[in-house]
Amino acid sequence: MLLRLIFLIAIVLPITTLAEDRAQDSPSMILIGSKEKVLSTIQEALDLEFTNGIRTNLIDRVGFKENFTNFWSGKSELLVAIFPMANGNSLEPTAYKVDFRYPAKGKSNATSLIARINSVVAKKDDVTTTDNYSDYIPLGKQIERCVNTFDTDQDLKLLKDKVSVVSAKNQTFDMLANDNVPTEEERRTIHLYAIKREECMKSHQFLGTFWPNEPLATLDQSAENTFVQLILSLYKGELTYGNFAKIRKDNFIMLEEARSKIALEKQKQASADDDRAKRLSLEQQRLFIERQKTYINLYKSDPLPVQTLKSTTCNFNGNQMYCTSF
């Protein structure tokens, strides 16, 4: 009788878990505080939630991977990563979005950890949580917002028809054909432009150090350093406006090509992983059906409820498969 009860619980439990999956597709939260305090809070919650877990730092993200043994599903893992966010006009992180990734049927572990983090935060005065997601945007978007204000900045009015102060994509034919070097008054405006742009791009430098192993972050940082040198050459009178625009355009094209190559390589890897994940998902479902048939054959006098199969999508992060059922 005890054995039958255990089998019954093992069948019914996934139904409850899947119901939680549908209710909360992508668990996440926002923590307000310094990077160090946020990470410390997450670590404290992980210690309480997984007393026998083994923790490692993520390689390509900022956060942790927790390997643990679950009573129902056996060995499992949970990835917790943080992403810098900003609100208002801040050009520095004012909060961090916390995202969770987990294997198939592991969402309950993520939601349980969120509750644990909230309980830890409730006892602190240096970290808080917020439900106002709309008040925060990724730090990278904050950079774009800052630079976009240059188009209406009256302090830069003198450069408007000579330099695209926002993006190389906005350069005109007249800018490319301008054979003049900056006048003394224009040099002062270029200097002001460089200072204002440097203030906006402080966040860019932060992102480069935040994700040192991310190819796109490294590429963008290199492109930014090159552009600063280009502005300096224009300011010194070493380049005409037209030469500045041409070099900037060429650099932009090369940057976009490099970005596309990186994205293509990631897409190829993701596609290969996706195909492999789909095959494994189907195999998991087949084995699950076989297990249910076995249970029912064992207890024909009192058949166990058969779980309705849900649609499952999976992807890979390294060698670990992550699935979402709905």
For residue 303, being part of any structural domain is answered with: no
Among 125-134, 285-294, 311-320, top mean pLDDT goes to 125-134
Residues 127 and 99 in one domain: yes
Mean pLDDT of 36-54: 94
Residues 76 and 33 in one domain: yes
Say yes or no: 177 and 81 in one domain: no
The pair of structure tokens assigned to 311 is 């649609």
Average pLDDT, the chain: 79
164 in the same domain as 47: no
Residues in CB range of 163: below 8 A, 6 or more apart:
175, 190, 193, 234, 241, 244, 245
> What tokens appear for 163 in the block?
């330099």
Q: Identify the pLDDT of residue 186.
A: 95
Q: Is residue 224 in a domain?
A: yes
Residues 16 and 88 in one domain: yes
Q: Are residues 155 and 131 in the same domain?
A: no
Is 169 among the domain residues?
A: yes
Domain boundary among 263, 280, 295: 263
User: Is 230 inside any structural domain?
Assistant: yes
Phi–psi pair at 14, nearest 5 degrees: -60, -30
95, 30 Cβ separation under 8 angstroms: yes
Q: Is residue 312 part of a domain?
A: no
Same domain, 147 and 238: yes
Domain enclosing residue 17, as ranges: 1-135
pLDDT for residue 56 is more than 50 = yes
Examine the pLDDT at 180 and tell me if it is beyond 70: yes
Shared domain for 47 and 157, answered yes or no, is no
Instruction: Tell me what pLDDT residue 91 has.
Output: 86
The answer on pLDDT for 195 being more than 90 is: yes
Domain membership flag for residue 300: no
Under the banding of pLDDT at 50, 70 and 90, the label for residue 32 is very high
End-of-domain residue from the set 235, 263, 291: 263
2 & 130 share domain: yes
Percentage of the chain beyond pLDDT 90 is 44
Residues 123 and 148 occupy one common structural domain: no
CB atoms inside a 10 Å sphere around CB 129: 17
- Pick from 263, 281, 310: which residue ends a domain? 263
Residue 130: give its domain's CATH number. Answer: 3.30.310
Q: Is the dihedral of CA 230, 232, 235, 238 positive or negative?
A: negative
Which has the higher per-residue pLDDT, 25 or 93? Answer: 93
**Structural domains counted in the chain:** 2
> Is 226 inside a domain boundary?
yes
pLDDT digits (tens, 9 = 90+) for 295-311: 445 444 444 344 444 44
Range in 6-10, 55-59, 77-81 the model is least confident about: 6-10
Do both 119 and 146 map to the same domain? no
Token pair for 158 = 């003198």
Nearest partner of 15 among 274, 304, 293, 212, judged by Cα = 304
Q: Which residues of 172-208 are buried (b: 16+ CB within 10 A; e: fewer)?
A: eeebeebeebbeeebeebbeebeebbeebbebbebbb
Tens digit of pLDDT for each residue in 131-170? 888 899 998 888 889 999 999 999 999 998 999 999 888 8
In this structure, the answer to whether residues 92 and 112 fall within a common structural domain is yes
